[in-house]
Structure 1
Amino acid sequence: MNIKNRLVLMNFLQFFVWGAWLISLGGYMGQTFGPIEGSSIGLSIGRTYGSMGWASLFMPALLGIIADKYLSAQKVLGLSHVIAGIVIFFATKATNSTEMYWVIFMTSCFYMPTIALNNSVSYAVLNKFEFDVQKTFTPIRVWGTVGFVIAMWITDLTDWKSGTMQFVFASVAMIITGLLSFTLPDVPAENKNNNQTLSSRFGLDSFVLFKQKKMAIFFVFAMLLGAALQITNMFGDTFIRDFGLDPAYKGTFGVEHSVFIISLSQISETLFILTIPFFLKRFGIKQVMLFSMLAWVLRFGLFGIGNPGSGVIFLILSMIVYGMAFDFFNISGSLFVEKETDSKIRSSAQGLFMLMTNGVGAIIGGEFAGRTVGYFTHNNKVQWTNVWFSFALYALIVAILFAIIFKYKHNPKDVVSVSH
């Protein structure tokens, strides 16, 4: 197998192992566990997903230091996948929400850093074999989304989503991915950046950007949008499955294959990413990010009026607009950071962007979403329409504030590249 195909396989598996459980976890917890004492099951689910945010605050930097200075990057990647695979197996033994929280937290401590490590290894290997990284990596990375979708389909069509087999499936896939990582060309530790301080290694140097009003405003909104990003991961599957309690919807395709329906979101994501160059050139970063925020309003609002029966079209439309909601913020936001920061702290600034969205944003989103679901839960029945309309209102308020507060003048002559 040539090197490009090996990297395609690695990127496919990198996200395949996540798709096996990420979307179905919330629905499984909702059907299997009661709430943690003193809280609703909704809050328990929200905090469990929020644990990924806590892991994202420190573990990527720690394992990045090891890969940079002490151990070959592909070995760190492999070890991380193997350990994550072993840990997630213990989700099959979890008997309550508290135990599941700690299993997912520990799994995330080793899985979340692999996302950045996989990119780093892919870049290094492509450079080693003298490929044009910008042109070559994007079509390789697309296979990661394909892997995520196919894993979701397998979990759904086998109905592993309803039991612990999803975790066995993920465990085996993670261990296989880890073992395959060891077979990649060597990406040796170079003991680079020895003169950097510990704060620099953790990307804290980029916090100086908060002294710039424009950048401070941007990162705050990155955090607020990061919170929105987590909500449907947590509760989308639970929401659709809950329709099965109503005889009018029991047995419908949407209820029986909720994860399959949600997978349309990831398919939409692969399509919308192709439109970003046009939209950025035509409208500029601020407008594109506003489109993303308004797409989140539609994402949640369409969930609020949709159902797996006569309203299934609204669910499908919600999945379609997800592509715009997700891609237009994450890609354009990353490009904004790339363009507006000094090259000396650019990598740290990108790390700060990810920390605000996938770290702090995920933690806040988990708590906020969990409390909202708990607030609208009465007699163990969730008033989902109120839940989704509340989230839609949140996204609308964020969009209005962003339009008013964030100042950015678009220059149509700017050349924008989204290849990375």
Structure 2
Amino acid sequence: MIKTKLSAMMFFQFFIQGSWYVTMGTYLGRTLEFTGVQIGLAYSTAAIAAIISPIIVGMIADRFFSPNRVLAFLNIFGAILLFALTKIETFSLFFPVLLLYSICFMPTMSLTNSISFANLKDTAKEFSKIRLFGSFGWICSGLLISALKIEPYSTPFLIGAGISLLAGVYALTLPHKAPVCTVEKVGVRQLLGFDAFKLTKDRSFLVLLIFSALICIPLAFYDSFTNLFITDMGISNAAAAMSLGQVAEVIFLFVFPFLFIKLRYKGSIVSAMAAWIVMYGLFTLGAQSEQNGFIYAVLPFHGFCYTFFFVAGQLFVDEKSPTSLRNSAQGLIAFATYGVGKYLGTLIAGNVVDIYSTESGYNWVSIWFTPFLMATVFLLGFIFLFKENVKKNREVKFALSETI
């Protein structure tokens, strides 16, 4: 029973973001006629929120209220903000409301994880199966939006608002966990996770941290402008087409443990970065040749890249960190990727799109060649600078095999 409730929680939470996040660029560019920079800034709200959200989760959910009640409040308040976004047509108001919503939404991803961990007997065996329902939620939202043909409209925000309200009420039915009362004084440094920075004395950890942030810069091009691009290319079911990436993610979540035994950390991350290069290269060819076959062929690559890059990176950080710093270290890698990297990426992507845009349309060949070139440089730098320096022990292999 509890596993079913946790699976539904994951489904709702990922459905919310999947309903509007993918198509927002098309809505802002086509309907509201925002500039490339403004679209990039809109997507940067998630990165800004990713920087702030660990403080919200650590300070509020851990110490003052039960996680399920915090999740309920954030989703219900978030539903109100999503509804408000359907009524706003100016960037000066759209941006701050979207930023406030993102600050509400981003902590919910950590909260769903913590609620799951607290209610599963064997997280290594059971969590990945619960998490899969998040991918199913994202896929279903994309299929629904495409079926209704509402990508250029504000309706996806309205759908997200409805599911967010439902998820908020549903969260109140999840197991209650009283906040932990502690008598020891927690300093600002510990609260913000700054203790994890001492791990950067290890060169391999520092290199991974830097390149994790860097590779998220070209990744922001995909997040912000792929839907607008493939819609421009005449693909009417763009949201459904992009859900191929989540379908691939589901598959590779199962395959990853087996391949990781051979590839290890460096091999997994290098293969993901190389696949991103191929993806942007085929986007460029698709724009040049106007052949949509290139686009359909490459969309599943995103699921492969996401799984192998982020999962391998999180495992490396976990193995490098002492027990006392593991949570802070994971927060640090999230700060570097979802925070710094994607924030810089959205700003750069927005400016690149503006540079290669005219009144007649977008120069997608030049736009996609930019992240292709960036990812290539970052891959070469990572290959030469990163040294794994982690023991290949049977314990890690066992833990990975148990995630299936």
TM-score norm. by structure 1 comes to: 0.91
Query: Residues of 1 paired with 2:83 and 2:73: CA distance?
Result: 16
Matched, 1:136 2:126: yes
Q: Is the 8 A contact 2:272 2:306 kept in 1?
A: yes
- Report deviation, 1:353: 0.6
Counterpart in 1 of 2:303?
Answer: 323
* AA of the residue aligned to 2:42: T
Q: RMSD across aligned C-alpha pairs, in angstroms?
A: 1.8
Return 148-157 or 62-71, whichever deviates more.
Answer: 62-71
Q: Is the 8 A contact 2:47 2:343 kept in 1?
A: yes
Query: Residues of 2 paired with 1:310 and 1:362: CA distance?
Result: 28
Counterpart in 2 of 1:388?
Answer: 368
Return 208-217 or 363-372, whichever deviates more.
Answer: 208-217
Counterpart in 2 of 1:14?
Answer: 13
- Report deviation, 1:193: 7.5
Matched, 1:294 2:274: yes
* AA of the residue aligned to 2:84: F
Matched, 1:217 2:207: yes
- The partner residue of 2:95 within 101, 111, 121 is 101
- Report deviation, 1:206: 0.6
Query: Residues of 2 paired with 1:45 and 1:310: CA distance?
Result: 24
Query: Residues of 2 paired with 1:375 and 1:93: CA distance?
Result: 29
Q: Is the 8 A contact 1:53 1:362 kept in 2?
A: yes
Matched, 1:80 2:74: yes
Q: Is the 8 A contact 1:289 1:333 kept in 2?
A: yes
3-state SS of paired residue (1:270): helix
1:334-373 correspondence runs (5 A) = 334-373=314-353
- Report deviation, 1:159: 1.9
Query: Residues of 1 paired with 2:182 and 2:126: CA distance?
Result: 26
Return 98-107 or 230-239, whichever deviates more.
Answer: 98-107
Q: Is the 8 A contact 1:43 1:367 kept in 2?
A: yes
Matched length: 400
Q: Is the 8 A contact 1:241 1:258 kept in 2?
A: yes
Matched, 1:233 2:223: yes
Query: Residues of 2 paired with 1:193 and 1:115: CA distance?
Result: 28
1:109-128 correspondence runs (5 A) = 109-126=103-120
Counterpart in 1 of 2:384?
Answer: 404
CA deviations on 1:336-394 (whole Å, 9 max, x unpaired) are 00111111111100010111110111111101111111111123521001111111111
- The partner residue of 1:182 within 169, 172, 190 is 172
Counterpart in 2 of 1:49?
Answer: 43
- The partner residue of 1:66 within 50, 60, 63 is 60
Query: Residues of 2 paired with 1:213 and 1:171: CA distance?
Result: 44
Q: Is the 8 A contact 1:34 1:97 kept in 2?
A: no
Query: Residues of 2 paired with 1:362 and 1:125: CA distance?
Result: 32
Return 307-316 or 65-74, whichever deviates more.
Answer: 307-316
TM-score norm. by structure 2 comes to: 0.95
3-state SS of paired residue (2:86): helix
Query: Residues of 2 paired with 1:311 and 1:410: CA distance?
Result: 44
Counterpart in 2 of 1:90?
Answer: 84
- Report deviation, 1:409: 4.5
Counterpart in 1 of 2:241?
Answer: 261
CA deviations on 1:306-332 (whole Å, 9 max, x unpaired) are 269972221122112112211111000
Matched, 1:333 2:313: yes
Q: Is the 8 A contact 1:14 1:177 kept in 2?
A: yes
Query: Residues of 1 paired with 2:92 and 2:151: CA distance?
Result: 20
Query: Residues of 2 paired with 1:278 and 1:313: CA distance?
Result: 30
Q: Is the 8 A contact 2:79 2:161 kept in 1?
A: yes
Counterpart in 1 of 2:140?
Answer: 150
- The partner residue of 2:192 within 193, 202, 224 is 202
CA deviations on 1:115-152 (whole Å, 9 max, x unpaired) are 000110111122xxxx2222111111100000011011
Query: Residues of 1 paired with 2:178 and 2:392: CA distance?
Result: 42
Query: Residues of 2 paired with 1:152 and 1:193: CA distance?
Result: 47
Query: Residues of 2 paired with 1:409 and 1:84: CA distance?
Result: 43
Query: Residues of 2 paired with 1:230 and 1:268: CA distance?
Result: 19
Distance 1:226 1:192, change over 3 A: farther
CA deviations on 1:276-297 (whole Å, 9 max, x unpaired) are 2222211221111010110110
CA deviations on 1:242-298 (whole Å, 9 max, x unpaired) are 234xxxxxxxxxx21111111111111111222222222112211110101101101
1:168-179 correspondence runs (5 A) = 168-179=158-169
Query: Residues of 2 paired with 1:178 and 1:194: CA distance?
Result: 33
Query: Residues of 2 paired with 1:147 and 1:194: CA distance?
Result: 40
CA deviations on 1:153-202 (whole Å, 9 max, x unpaired) are 11121122221111111111001101100111111111248432122111
- Report deviation, 1:413: 4.4
Query: Residues of 2 paired with 1:219 and 1:413: CA distance?
Result: 23
Q: Is the 8 A contact 2:287 2:364 kept in 1?
A: no
* AA of the residue aligned to 2:64: Y
Q: Is the 8 A contact 1:23 1:237 kept in 2?
A: yes
* AA of the residue aligned to 2:219: L
In the alignment, structure 1 segments of 5+ residues that lack a partner are: 36-40, 245-254
CA deviations on 1:201-226 (whole Å, 9 max, x unpaired) are 11111111223222111111110122
Q: Is the 8 A contact 1:282 1:412 kept in 2?
A: no
